[in-house]
Amino acid sequence: MSSDDVSRRAFMRTAGGATAAAGAATATAGTAAAQEEQPVWPSGASGGNLGSYQDARGESEVTVQVGAGDSGLAFDPTLLWVDTGTTITFEWTGNGGSHNVQTVDGGGPAGLDSGQAVGEEGATYEFEATEEAAGITHYHCVPHTAVGMHGGLAVGGDIETESTGGGGGSNAVFVPQGARALGVATFIAMVSTLGLAFVFMKYGGTITQEE
């Protein structure tokens, strides 16, 4: 067996180990993401159209699109978690007809009420998440409540939570920024390792002979 063959096999073992380690890191990140804690949403809120989720704690302002999705019959994010003191701006997309934002009867502490339904693009309704709004609130668009235009708002830190991987009421999938970044970095590392392996296998012997 030539020294080139030995070197190539050693390199491939190293590359294989690096790829396996990268894959394990990605799997770990995925598991962490799958087990991310979310508020325990009322079923009516978690079953809302689109089903997107945003943890906006730490932000002083956040925007929710009214009339989101392909049909314009959703709130985006559908489920939102903020700190007390956060200003939430509901902004109309102009899609799906006329909408409003209103807390479902008995749906929670936040008194959301944008008034009459409007369909004008760019219309806004601002709501400040005060201490009185702390907790979880289920809200909807009154004209489109029957077709699933519902949303959920969690305010403050004293919120009951559950793991999204535990089969809770929410179908939303939340992937933390850290996990996404690790996944991207891992993919780049895997591609780079395999690329080096290809170059070594194709040109390794030629380079050695020339030297």
Q: Are 103 and 138 within 8 A, CB to CB? A: yes
Return the residue matching tokens 């996404």.
180
Q: Using CA atoms in the order 69, 87, 54, 125, what is the torsion angle rounded to 10 degrees?
A: -10
What SS3 state is found at 85?
coil
Burial of 195 (0-12, 13-18, 19+ CB in 10 A): exposed
pTM tops 0.85: no
Apex 16 CA angle, 13 and 22, nearest 5: 140
pLDDT per residue rounded down to tens, the chain (211 residues): 555 554 555 545 544 554 444 454 444 444 444 457 999 999 999 999 999 999 999 999 999 999 999 999 999 999 999 999 999 999 999 999 999 999 999 999 999 999 999 999 999 999 999 999 999 999 999 999 999 999 999 999 999 999 976 433 334 433 344 445 555 566 666 656 666 656 556 665 444 444 4
Tell me what pLDDT residue 135 has.
98
What SS3 state is found at 200?
helix
CA 11 to chain centre: 38
- Token pair, residue 130, equals 């005060």
Return the residue matching tokens 């009154």.
142
Q: Are 66 and 99 within 8 A, CB to CB? A: yes
Q: Are 110 and 101 within 8 A, CB to CB? A: no
Q: E strands, 30-149, where?
A: 37-39, 53-55, 61-68, 74-76, 79-82, 87-92, 102-103, 124-128, 135-140
Return the residue matching tokens 């395999």.
194
- Token pair, residue 67, equals 């009339």
**pLDDT for 23-64, tens place per residue?**
544 444 444 444 579 999 999 999 999 999 999 999 999 999
